[in-house]
Amino acid sequence: MLQIDALAYSDLRRALELGLCPTISRLLREGFALRRWFCGLPSATPYCQAGMFHGENAGIPAFRFYDKAARKVITCNAPHGVQYIRDRIHSPGALAGGSSYVNLLDGDAQTVAFTVATREKMSVYRRLGGTRMGLLMLLHPIRMARMVFQGAFEWLLEEWERARGELAGRVTHSEGIFPFIRILSNVVVRELQTMAILLDVYLGVPIIYSTFMQYDELAHHFGPSSKQALVDLRRTDARIAEIWRMAQLAGGRGYDLVILSDHGMTPALSYRVEYGESLGATVQRILDETRVKGAEASQSLASYAEDTEYSDIGPEVVEAVAQLTPASFGARGAIRKFRDWLRSRYGLREIIFPEKYRVDRTNDIVVTYSSCLALVYFAATEQRLSLEQIMADARWARLYDELVAHPGIGLVATVSHGGVNLAGKRGRAILRDGQIQIISGKNPLEIFGTEPYVLRAVESLVNQPNAGDCVLFGAFDGYDIISFDDQVGAHGSAGGDQVYPFIISPERLELAGESLENARDIHRTVLARYAAANADNASPDAARLTPALPRAAV
């Protein structure tokens, strides 16, 4: 299974019409089936991959969220955040006995590389692929040379696009090291994961799941339908061609190929650019303006004085290099001294990275952002607050009303005694058991989607463990959605193509007739069936349930 991260069904169709994915076009002509599906909410990779790999994704309300009891922000841009999620998944993984490459979760895979969180604790070196990945690099000098030239080209292309965007007055990307992230993602990781998959197919590994993350990175920074994001699909399509060619040459192993995305992406406008301040700053301003007699204003302090979620990425990469270096001549020790210096002297701070969340251990309120989805927590209590409890406190009630009225916020959802309370600028409603009851004005979900599966997904999201006391969707006009991060492509909430990924599969899997309304349904209809067929100790009953499936999948 090959995942093209964040590629919506509509944008794949656009790329196919432009002739950017010839391999996928050929597969569709040769009998593979393409369909759209609904990924559930949040429309984010950790939630979707947990559902696909384990059939279990409760307690993951966003890419970034807050654990009230632990007083800790969980962010999936940091290994410890993804490990927090992995440690709370107890269902067996569908990748057992197989391989996981460039995924957030391992799905119980036996072999991992560029996989963030695993069931068993392992070093960063092993998560990056360990000695096996180092040997692959040594055995492919031509590919390594190609990586160097492609990396140089990618850097020049990035600088040109950045300068052109700045001259045109467009916001593209404000992350200072994005050029290096782009080279790592678009060149190094894509080449290495392809080599690893080719080796696995040659060796007959029973199930392989790998994520091509390049489109996601580019679409966040340039837009989901941008030339930069769509044209880069050519290179991913070429790698898919290599993998499928090897699978067909691996005679007798009967590999199937499934290509999918975990969620889509919607064109976005930056909240900070549109309204001159971050969402966290908006919350703090409202709190500062709210003075209750005999009480001080509540606090929601910025995290700019602390290391960001990216602060340890550099030292961790240096440590991985140290482990690859022979211990002789003191080289490893020198590299580790550089690692310690980098960690102590160069913590990447908010001056480089835009604010991702506002939190301090003494804060009354914590705000976390996940693209076009934001969560607001009243942190003084570990318990989830209902709308009635929020409105009983003058400070919180004022904040709630101001958020509902803000032009950059399209929906404020809270739990209440009657169900999930939905508030927008044009109306309010109660959502319960998948049914919506309008309280006043118009349906606040009208612009985001009113299909039954959307209603169920919104209700499930707001009721998720660790969800915010207030769940915020960025304002959506039917095309652009407001992103609380500095992005021009967003996903996380409902609204637009972000909830509609695609799946391409052999027709005999008969997915056209399946109900696919959550990432868990991909586990049920695809991965669990292959896992049962591939299990060494599969029972005769399991074998009878999957008579048409091969013993290998990629």
pLDDT, tens digit, 9 for 90 and up, residues 280-328: 889 988 888 876 544 555 554 333 223 344 445 555 666 666 666 666 6
The answer on pLDDT for 484 being more than 70 is: yes
Q: pLDDT digits over 28-66, tens only?
A: 999 999 999 999 999 999 999 999 999 999 999 999 999
Query: Which residue is it, tokens 């406190």?
Result: 393
Between CA 359 and CA 484 the distance in angstroms is 15
Between CA 212 and CA 233 the distance in angstroms is 10
What pLDDT does 380 receive?
Answer: 83
What pLDDT does 168 receive?
Answer: 63
Between CA 33 and CA 258 the distance in angstroms is 10
The answer on pLDDT for 456 being more than 90 is: yes
What pLDDT does 203 receive?
Answer: 86
What pLDDT does 294 receive?
Answer: 42
Q: Count other Cβ atoms within 10 Å, centred on residue 332.
A: 16
Q: How confident is the model at residue 251 (pLDDT cuts 50, 70, 90)?
A: low
Q: What is the mean pLDDT of residues 229-255?
A: 89
What pLDDT does 41 receive?
Answer: 98
CA nearest to 496, candidates 371, 367, 404, 355: 371
The answer on pLDDT for 175 being more than 50 is: no
Between CA 116 and CA 119 the distance in angstroms is 11
Q: Count other Cβ atoms within 10 Å, centred on residue 512.
A: 10
What pLDDT does 351 receive?
Answer: 33
Task: Name the more confident of 104 and 538.
Answer: 104
What pLDDT does 199 receive?
Answer: 87
pTM, full prediction? 0.82
Q: Any residues with CB less than 8 A from the CB of 497 and at least 6 apart, and which? A: 8, 9, 10, 11, 224, 264, 265, 266
Cα-based distances in Å from 133 to 106, 223, 294: 17, 32, 63
Percent of the chain with pLDDT over 90: 55
408 and 466 Cβ atoms separated by less than 8 Å: no
Element (H, E) at 267: strand 266-270
What pLDDT does 136 receive?
Answer: 67
The answer on pLDDT for 350 being more than 80 is: no
Mean pLDDT of the chain: 83
Task: Name the more confident of 544 and 411.
Answer: 411
CA nearest to 366, candidates 314, 447, 298: 298
What pLDDT does 189 receive?
Answer: 83
The answer on pLDDT for 540 being more than 50 is: no
What pLDDT does 64 receive?
Answer: 93
Query: Which residue is it, tokens 């089936």?
Result: 33
Burial class (CB in 10 A: 0-12, 13-18, 19+), 463: middle
Q: Residue 229: helix, strand or coil by DSSP? A: helix
What pLDDT does 368 receive?
Answer: 92
Phi, psi of 62 (to 5 degrees): -175, 170
Percent of the chain with pLDDT over 70: 75
The answer on pLDDT for 85 being more than 70 is: yes
Between CA 129 and CA 417 the distance in angstroms is 49
What pLDDT does 548 receive?
Answer: 44
The answer on pLDDT for 545 being more than 60 is: no
Lowest mean per-residue pLDDT among 304-313, 314-323, 367-376, 389-398: 304-313
Task: Name the more confident of 123 and 514.
Answer: 514
Task: Name the more confident of 402 and 131.
Answer: 402
What pLDDT does 349 receive?
Answer: 36
Between CA 458 and CA 119 the distance in angstroms is 30
Cα-based distances in Å from 297 to 17, 34, 406, 552: 56, 54, 20, 61
Token duo for residue 273: 């650019």
25 and 15 Cβ atoms separated by less than 8 Å: no
Residue spans of beta strands (DSSP E) within 308-383: 357-358, 365-370, 373-378
